[in-house]
Amino acid sequence: MTLALDWDEGQRAIAEAVARFCAEAGAEALARAEGAPFPRGFWRGLGALGVFALAEPGGESGAGELAAAFEALGAAACPGPLIAQVFAVRVVPPPARGALARGDAVAAVGAPPLVAFAPDADLFVELAGDEGWLARPRGEVARVAGLGGEPLGRVAFERVERLGGVADARELSDLARAAWGVGAARRLLGAAVEHARARRQFGRPIGEFQAVAHPLADAHVRLAAAETLVRAAAWARDAGGKEAALRAGAARLAAEGAGLLVARVAHQTLGALGVTSEGPLFHLSRRLRQLPALPPPAAHAEAALLAPLGLSE
């Protein structure tokens, strides 16, 4: 059986609308503005566009639409707790779900003591393995600088309500994470390739040297494989396949691995330009490097992939 893994007309329209909004709303500048107040207006704009509503249970859109939107968000360097918002929209009850879907509230998801975006969040979900709870902070949330340029919060939680659907939310957020990572890495790799074409040494573009060209080619192959897995995972989820969760986890792991490779190769290609905050890439590459550390952790995906080989515990 052959799968058509290109986005259909409707999914392409969603991706184009998201890309257009991000360009007009200045997502790039927001991603570079480390330490600035959380951009509530931008977040509500994403909600008004329907980005977060794509994750609502029982909605008209499917995983393909969500993945197409998140690829565009990654390519636009869109900042914020996007993965946490998808997870929370999937598990929290109304009316909190509606506030998240509209972008009127910001979600933080994770386990103490450090939780990404906790200083700016309105709603908190604590994760512990396969279980989740609606929670509230116990005391003050202390802001801590994150390696990805976005804030962490040192926090203790008080559990308020046990939440269902954690496995389903994890599957969908894995897919969203993988799609964002593919979009961001594709943008990063494209910038590195353009630099390799334009930058000259010894009278030749540096892209003609094998030491530059071969790592870029390797990164392209890894990224193309991850992109294929993202789209296959979206197709499997929309088709109701039994292996949808496995495919989403595989897409996540592949996208995270490809993103780390692309970030390293891009830094090598651009030299000092690749690792300065004022440069063309660092605001993207630092987020790609942090992406694997964002909750929920990937242990479930790794275990699912190892189980058929008899290697899981």
Is the predicted pLDDT of residue 68 greater than 80, yes or no? Answer: yes
Task: Identify whether the C-beta of residue 25 lies closer than 8 Å to the C-beta of residue 51.
Answer: no
Over residues 28-44, the mean pLDDT reads: 93
Task: Confirm whether 131 is domain-assigned.
Answer: no
Q: Which domain CATH number covers 304? A: 1.20.140.10
Q: How confident is the model at residue 4 (pLDDT cuts 50, 70, 90)?
A: low
Domain count within the chain: 1
Residue (of 303, 296, 312, 306) closest to 132 by Cα position = 296
pLDDT for residue 58: 86
Higher pLDDT among residues 60 and 210, named by residue = 210
Residue 242 lies in a domain: yes
Beta bridge partners of 158: 136
Q: Which tens digits make up the pLDDT trace of 173-184?
A: 999 999 999 999
Q: Please state which of the ranges 6-10, 101-105, 198-202, 301-305 shows the lowest mean pLDDT.
A: 301-305
- The answer as to whether 230 is a domain residue is yes
**Backbone torsions φ then ψ of 42, nearest 5 degrees:** -65, -40
295 confidence band (pLDDT: 50, 70, 90): confident
Using CA atoms in the order 191, 194, 200, 204, what is the torsion angle rounded to 10 degrees? Answer: 140
Q: Report if residue 105 sits inside a domain.
A: no
The region that residue 217 occupies, defined by phi over 0 for left and psi between -120 and 50 for alpha, beta otherwise, is alpha
Greater confidence (276 vs 219) lies with: 219
Q: Flag whether pLDDT at 152 surpasses 80.
A: yes
Picking from 29-38, 117-126, 294-303, which range would have the lowest pLDDT averaged per residue? 294-303
Residue 23 maps to a domain: no
pLDDT in the model for residue 200? 92
- For residue 70, is it within any domain? no
Give me the pLDDT at residue 313, please. 59
Residue 24 token pair: 């007009």
The band of 26, judged by pLDDT with boundaries at 50, 70 and 90, is: very high
Residue 266 in any domain: the answer is yes
Give the pair of three-digit tokens for residue 235: 């197709």
Please determine, for residue 1, whether its predicted confidence score (pLDDT) is greater than 70: no
Q: Tell me, yes or no, whether 10 lies in a domain.
A: no
Domain holding 293, by residue range, is: 168-309
Position 249 pLDDT exceeds 80: yes
- Residue 279 is predicted with a pLDDT of 84
Span of 12-16, 156-160, 278-282, 287-291 with lowest mean pLDDT: 278-282
Summary mean pLDDT of the chain? 93
Summarised one tens digit per residue, pLDDT across range 255-270 is 999 999 999 999 999 9
Task: Look at residue 67 in the predicted model and tell me its pLDDT.
Answer: 98
How far is C-alpha 38 from the geometric centre of its chain's CA atoms?
18
Cα–Cα distance for residue pair 143/45, rounded to 1 Å = 25
